[in-house]
A and B are shown apart, each in its own frame.
Chain A
Amino acid sequence: EVQLLESGGGLVQAGGSLRLSCAASGFTFSSYAMTWVRQAPGKGLEWVSGISGTGGSTYYADSVKGRFTISRDNSKNTLYLQMNSLRAEDTAAYYCAKVGSISMVRGVITLDYWGRGTLVTVSS
């Protein structure tokens, strides 16, 4: 059974940093790309970042480019999101999601399993 468990959320002041983690199990982690998706209070889903199965290719939404860094440790089956220079508008539930293929640009580009999310609150 595929399981994704996010952690690392919390309350942080504007300008601060947080690192989110996503522990994965139930599948061969290195064979799949992974993504982060967020949902601000009362808003819809917003894709944040993605990374290929090997970690060699990374992608970011314009809203976080230059401030957030996605990475993965395939030996620990763990996905990370380092968030710097946080802003009030980054307040959201952050979900980790598995992509249906090793690549973000070819294959089964869908998010077939999701975690339950971790809440990040940025106070101004």
Chain B
Amino acid sequence: SALTQPASVSGSPGQSITISCTGTSNDVGGYDYVSWYQHHPGKAPKLMIYAVSNRPSGVSNRFSGSKSGNMASLTISGLQAEDEADYYCSSFGSSYGSISILFGGGTKLTVL
């Protein structure tokens, strides 16, 4: 995948976890267009964070995003059973005159 995420993370209810997303200066590091999506298999993916650290209306404030250089992060605090899902980062990317939306390989979050 164009962006690098850990394949899996886990945590107990109430704990906090962080998922990293590493790209390059042509995508994550070059633009503030990093988003995070939650995907329960068989359902429509859901936007959780956009423009690095903004939450859409209706998304819990337990979800937060940040970026430093070429790496973005998603932090989920106060883990709940319903947070168990696949999480994908994405970024706008540009190189050699063409644009794209790049995704990470996805991180499976297990709530123990």
Residues of A within 8 A of B (CB): 4, 35, 37, 44-47, 50, 59, 61, 95, 97, 100, 104-105, 108-117
Contact = CB atoms under 8 A, between A and B. Distances in A.
A76 to B, nearest CB: 22
Interface of B: 1, 31, 33, 35, 37, 39, 42-47, 50-51, 56, 88, 90, 92, 98-106
A114 B46 contact: yes
Contacts of A59: 98-100
A117 B102 CA distance: 19
Contacts of A111: 35, 37, 45, 47, 90, 101
A112 B101 contact: no
Contact of B51 (A104, A110, A117): A110
Given A4-B44, A45-B90, 14 more contacts: A37-B101, A44-B88, A44-B103, A59-B100, A97-B45, A105-B92, A110-B47, A111-B35, A112-B50, A112-B56, A114-B44, A114-B45, A114-B46, A116-B42
Contacts, number: 67
Nearest to B36: A110
In the A-B complex, the 6 residue pairs with the closest CB atoms: A110-B50, A47-B101, A44-B106, A114-B44, A110-B35, A45-B103
B43 A116 contact: yes
Main secondary structure of the interface of A (DSSP, over half): strand
Contact of A45 (B46, B56, B98, B106): B106
B33 A109 contact: yes
A25 to B, nearest CB: 14
A111 to B, nearest CB: 6
Query: Which has the most chain B C-beta neighbours within 10 Å: A46, A61, A97, A110?
Result: A110
Contacts of B51: 108, 110
